[in-house]
Amino acid sequence: MDIKMLKAKIHRLRVTDADLYYEGSITVDRELLDTAGILPYEKVQVVNVNNGERLETYTIPGEAGERTVCLNGPAARRAAAGDEVIVIAYAELTPTEARQHHPRVVHVDDNNDVTKTRTLDVSTDDGDLAPEGMEDVLIAESDADKSKRSRNEHQPQMEIRSASDPPESISLWLRPETFLRVSVAVNLALDLQGAARPWG
């Protein structure tokens, strides 16, 4: 018997638009989908924090860097620009797979820029504790950096690798001005020398 588990969640996205006459779906910035591990056209649940509405639809990738979050078609009647929504994806896993599963949670700010990613461990009671070999990554930038940042500038991808054997890794899209801090879970040793390297 398969178990339906949380796969990924993007927490408190700010709705930027609602288009009643577009094909039904939710448009989400492609970079946000990639960070969460949610595929284009994947089925998701959308929960509106402002009015409690819940709906199921599928994702359409928006322009990278635009931070668009747009409810389309009939879903446009469930949210307005400025509302906060949670986008949730699920996966059906066998009991064995479920016990080894690590859901990902992405937090964003009021501009839909990523501030933090968390990897949950179903084998512990504390959802804030990352599983062995994985890291919590906090991305922050100053107000000055935000004011001079262009949405269209090149954003190199970085790969963060742990010192575990075999090494675990995650990939992030970072801006040149972005300050990256890796916070390490208890008993996790990172080889900081060469831990981050440009990719692509």
Residues known to be catalytic: 25, 58
Decide if 92 contacts 2 (C-beta within 8 A).
yes
CA gap 134, 163 in Å, rounded: 10
The token duo for 76 is 């446009």
Decide if 157 contacts 200 (C-beta within 8 A).
yes
Q: Which of 37, 109, 120, 104 is nearest to 69 (CA)?
A: 109
The token duo for 119 is 């990897």
